[in-house]
Amino acid sequence: MIVGAVLIVVFLFVLFLGTPISMGMGIGTFAAMIAGGYDFSTLPMLIQKGANSYTLISIPYFVLAANIMNKGGITNRIFAFCESLVGWMHGGLAQVNVISSVIFAGISGTSSADAAGLGMVEIEAMDRAGYDRKWSVGITMASSILGPIIPPSVGFIVYASLTGVSTTELFIAGVLPGLTLALLMMIANYVIARSGKVACPPPSRFSVRKVFRTFLDGFFALMAPVIMLACLFSGVVTATETGIIAVVYSLFASMVYREFKLKDLFAIIKDTVASSSIIMFLIGMGYGIGYVLTLERIPHKMTEWLLRITTNKYLMLLLIIIFLTILGMFLEATVVRIITVPLLLPVIMALDINLIHFGIVHTLVGLLGTTTPPVGSGLMIMATVAKMKFSDVVKSIVPFWIPLFIALLIITYIPAITLWLPGILLH
């Protein structure tokens, strides 16, 4: 346990000094290996081994596809179609915000792509229409969570690489939980709109002609998630191959709309390489941490300790949710996933909790952490996109914590929401 304590203390200390999280993980692991008398020269090999996975190859493809679509005029057309489809509801553009994120989630795979790309379009549209600024920012932040829940999902790919479960099964399992989240957020929008306490313009009139026109205009944009989900559900291609298809199709659709310029391609590839490298490096560092923890038998000791508290899997899930939520207040979702999944895996298996179901729950808790201060990465992205103070962004998301956490509890304690669709399509 001394080695584990050294790892945690050094990691937290270097974070306090302002060191990047990935470097903090590496320095903490290095210190722990020295404290335990292990050969620290193997650390580079462990980092390389952790990132050397066929499953992880799909990450840069999905990130690249999302970046191309954000630059290629696809997000604007998705938003315009959704506005014609649900703009007549109470809450108008706030409801459009959610439905747009549902569709874009079938393309992006990350909450940051949703918040940074589609989020800017959504906030500007709600501002022009006269919606309360905090409401528009809050629902944009909340709906961006759908990105990594509705497939494809970078978070699911990382979880699959850590546990060995099927990425395709995880993708399919995320569909109904994602729609559950969307439904509860739309209910929250309705309640806010009907309360009369915030600025909310009257909903627009429904027009079949407008729906048809925006559908035709955005046809190639709207077909992107349909094509990817069809590929996944058919079982004809793997998650990695679906990522390649996403890139090719995003390039095709962007060229059709003629808003994508070749000069943008270098910046897009540069951003994709930077984002993907950070994720892969974190995974490699996480493998090093897992190696040290396994040598020290810390997962085994933690399992014994938790099982002494309770052997009730429902109570255990609640304890894990609380634990992960607290971690999420200080660490990025990917880091929480990499560090905690290897630790919690023996507990989950001992209590016979389905690993696919737990993957959805774990990913969702991590995403909720991006909306919580003091460090929430999603809050920081939204503060930049919306050009608001960090404290004001926090205030804007507070009302949406209620539907988000209600959805989390429903998804956690009704496993059929997660497992029904994979059971129908894959078994």
C-alpha to C-alpha distance for 338 and 335, rounded to whole angstroms: 5
Task: Answer whether 356's CB lies under 8 Å from 416's CB.
Answer: no
Kindly write down the DSSP assignment for every residue of 246-305, as one continuous string. HHHHHHHHHHHHT---HHHHHHHHHHHHHHHHHHHHHHHHHHHHHHHHHHTTHHHHHHHH
The model's pLDDT over 253-294, given as tens digits with 9 standing for 90+, comes to 888 887 777 777 888 888 888 877 877 777 777 777 777 777
Q: What average pLDDT does this structure show over 90-111?
A: 79
- Give the global pTM: 0.82
* Residue 118 banded pLDDT, cuts 50, 70, 90: low
Whether the per-residue pLDDT at 54 is higher than 70: the answer is no
The model's pLDDT over 277-286, given as tens digits with 9 standing for 90+, comes to 877 777 777 7
Whether the per-residue pLDDT at 206 is higher than 80: the answer is yes
Q: Is the peptide bond before 152 cis (omega within 30 degrees of 0)?
A: yes
Nearest to 316 by CA among 297, 344, 280, 284: 344
Burial (CB count <10 Å: 0-12, 13-18, 19+), residue 420: middle
